[in-house]
Amino acid sequence: MKLVTIIGARPQFIKAAALSRAIKTHNRDSSLQKVEEIIIHSGQHHDPNMSDIFFSSLEIPLPDYTLGIHNLSHGAMTGQMLEKIEQILLHEAPDVVLVYGDTNTTLAGALAAAKLHIPVAHVEAGLRSFNRAMPEEINRILTDHIAQWLFCPTQVAVKNLQAEGVDQRAGVEIIHNGDVMLDTMRYFINKASRITLDRRKGSVDGYIVCTLHRAELTDDLERLRDVFTSIVSIAKEHPVFFPLHPRTRKALDKAGCTFDHPGLEIMEPVGYLEMIDLLHHAGLVITDSGGLQKEAFFSGTPCLTIREETEWTELVEAGFNRLAGYAPESIVAGAKAMATVTVDNSSFIYGDGTASQSIIATLLRRIH
């Protein structure tokens, strides 16, 4: 089976790491049919600190194709990706195209494959925020309605697809297989190194990890300024480690925000191992990231989400995650409330850590 994997952003690198590792394990068994993986990196995350370090730390094979498409509008980015991915698929003629999540890379890969009548497998299918103002929501809906195999991390995701009638399309299969990000976390957790005491300024466990990067925040400077002011206020009580996304840094500079505040440690973007180390020893995560909400749960750390909705509703319902919105008073109050929450991550909300093996086995059965 020839499989083309299309990735371009941090969460996709983490998911792809699990699948690539499952393929390697599968191929070691000489009695099994071999799987050939071709990796296309769109370049959507082009900063070395946002991309290269993830390939090396996650042990992902280097991409066979790197497109270098970034810093464009949604339409221009998706269009250029579609054109270049189509050329590669015509050349490689794979049995299946594997796309992940909800980025422009996801949609472009799915469209290119579907127009060439190549089956599409969507990993992390069925997620919905029910906010179509989010570009990610449009990407995931369209991809789900293109894909032939929809691999869902939760039962909620399965129900979302069924509610939209996706399961009524001929040849479509919805599979609840668990979350591949859990596979990656379990594999790497013992390889993560503690952040040095110098880096952490001698702070004890229980600090806060903060990340902010979504366009609905960084494109609204007044909103961003309010949220950052809240983080500064929280840092007066608890140390805050803030790995700063390049887009967020530029927006904060433009908003006139300064970074020298008591308790606030501004950091360059960190690799996966360093991030999961930070999460495992944190008392709270504050983020607008979808993936980090789950990684916090996997780490047994409560999460405060700087958004008005989330795809991971089961974590909110369980009390392990809380939506704060963007109002400063709500963020400060939410941080105080969530810092006392104890997270029980022993349940199988996201499967048992074998989702990637299940995906490869399913595709092999269906394709040949």
**pLDDT per position as a tens digit, 257-278:** 999 999 999 998 888 888 998 9
Query: What's the mean pLDDT in 125-153?
Result: 96
> pLDDT over 90 for what percent of the chain?
81
Comparing CA positions, the residue from 13, 139, 31, 15 lying closest to residue 77 is: 139
Q: Given this model, what pLDDT does residue 204 score?
A: 59
Angle of helix 10-27 relative to helix 290-298, nearest 10 degrees, comes to 60
Report the CATH number that the domain containing residue 288 is assigned in CATH: 3.40.50.2000
Cβ neighbours of residue 137 closer than 8 Å, sequence gap 6 or more: 102, 128, 129, 130, 131
Active site residue 213: yes
Residues 78 and 168 placed together within one structural domain of the fold: yes
Task: Specify the range with the lowest mean pLDDT, choosing from 126-130, 194-198, 296-300, 353-357.
Answer: 194-198
Report the distance separating Cα 337 and Cα 170, nearest Å.
48
Burial letters 105-134, b for 16+ CB under 10 A, else e: bbbbbbbbbbeeebbbbbbbbbbbbeeeeb
Do 148 and 201 belong together in one domain? no
Contact 245, 213 (CB under 8 A): yes
346 in a domain, yes or no? no
Q: Do 299 and 156 sit in the same domain of this protein?
A: no
Query: pLDDT, tens digit, for every residue of 65-114?
Result: 999 998 899 999 999 999 999 999 999 999 999 999 999 999 999 999 99
In this structure, the answer to whether residues 316 and 208 fall within a common structural domain is yes
Is 19 in the same domain as 58? yes
The Cα 359–Cα 362 span in angstroms is 5
Residues 206 and 242 in one domain: yes
Per-residue model confidence (pLDDT) at position 292: 95
Q: Based on the domain organization, do 8 and 150 belong to the same domain?
A: yes
Task: Find tokens 């976390």 and name the residue.
Answer: 185
Report residue 215's pLDDT band, with 50, 70 and 90 as the boundaries: confident
Q: Is 263 in the same domain as 136?
A: no
pLDDT at 189: 84
For residues 215 and 41, which has the higher predicted lDDT (pLDDT)? Answer: 41
Q: Say whether both 160 and 39 belong to one domain.
A: yes
Note the pLDDT of residue 170: 93
The pLDDT, as a whole number, for residue 203 is 54
Position 269 scores a pLDDT of: 87
Domain region containing 50:
2-179+351-367
Q: Which of 213, 245, 280, 281 is catalytic?
A: 213
Q: Taking a C-beta distance cutoff of 8 angstroms, is the pair 286, 102 a contact? A: no
Query: Is the pLDDT at 357 greater than 60, yes or no?
Result: yes
Q: What is the pLDDT of residue 362?
A: 96
Half-sphere exposure of 236 (CA within 13 A, CB side): 6
Same structural domain, 51 and 99: yes
Inform me whether the pLDDT recorded for 194 exceeds 60: no
For the chain, the average pLDDT equals 92
Given the structure tokens 């105080």, which residue do they identify? 336
> Is residue 235 located within the same domain as residue 259?
yes
- Percentage above 70 pLDDT, the chain: 94
**In whole angstroms, what is the distance from residue 102 CA to residue 94 CA?**
22
Residue 125 counted as domain residue? yes
The length of the chain in residues reads 368
pTM (2 d.p.): 0.90
What's the number of domains the chain is made of?
A: 2
Is there a domain that residue 190 lies in?
Answer: no
Q: Which of 96-110, 124-138, 192-206, 344-358 has the lowest mean pLDDT?
A: 192-206
Note the pLDDT of residue 206.
82
Q: Are residues 241 and 356 in the same domain?
A: no
Give the span between the Cα atoms of 165 and 169, in whole angstroms: 8
